[in-house]
Structure 1
Amino acid sequence: MPAVFRPLLTAATASYAVNCALGAAVAARRVDTSGVRWVHHAVYVSTVLLTAAAGAQLAVRGDRALWRLLPVALPLAAIPWRSARSRGHVLLALSAAPAYAAALRTPGEG
């Protein structure tokens, strides 16, 4: 059975992917964000808000994708407390990827 299109979940996952790509580019020294560090922070806030909205929508619908999305809450809550220059920051951020992917691939509602 194919996955159901869930616009808020898709937007949250896309925002997460964009932020990971931006972080990777900065870490690889391909992008200088010294003057615009706020962009990375703004995309993080967007990711958190979109993920919360997606979770609320999934909960209201009784969509089982919610249970696959819930594990992203811990890394999203903890990442601001890890130094952005640490390996732990990167690993913590990447730890959310499997949950976003699993939620997107969860078939049907209910």
Structure 2
Amino acid sequence: MYDAEELIARALRSTGIPVERGVYRIPETGKTEVYLVYWLLHEAAEVYADGGSLGRYYEFGVDVVSKGDARPTVERVFSALAGAGFYNVRIVSEAYDEELGNYHVVIEGSYTEV
């Protein structure tokens, strides 16, 4: 998983948007207007040949958290993931957190490591 883990982290960092795995810690300098949180959803053996596994299949989730319009950030994330070899990249949910004033757009993407 280390290759897939590094691949998604590198792809998301390439957007220039703050990114963390699992939970985002707001910097001491104050709140961030937009940030990304990613996590592993699923990992399994993949690409069976002669009874053996030739690779691993991964699905990751990415939460785009934004104070304003999240669409430009979502487009950057889609582009970064596709450029890194992720496929079946899709939006799975959108929500607005009234208490914190944040929009959340959850994206999922798949990757096969051979």
Higher helix share: 1
Considering the TM-score relative to the shorter chain, is it more than 0.5? no
Q: Given the two structures, how large is their TM-score scaled by the length of structure 2?
A: 0.34
Q: Given the two structures, how large is their TM-score scaled by the length of structure 1?
A: 0.34
Higher RCO structure (Cα 8 Å, ≥6 apart): 1
Higher strand share: 2
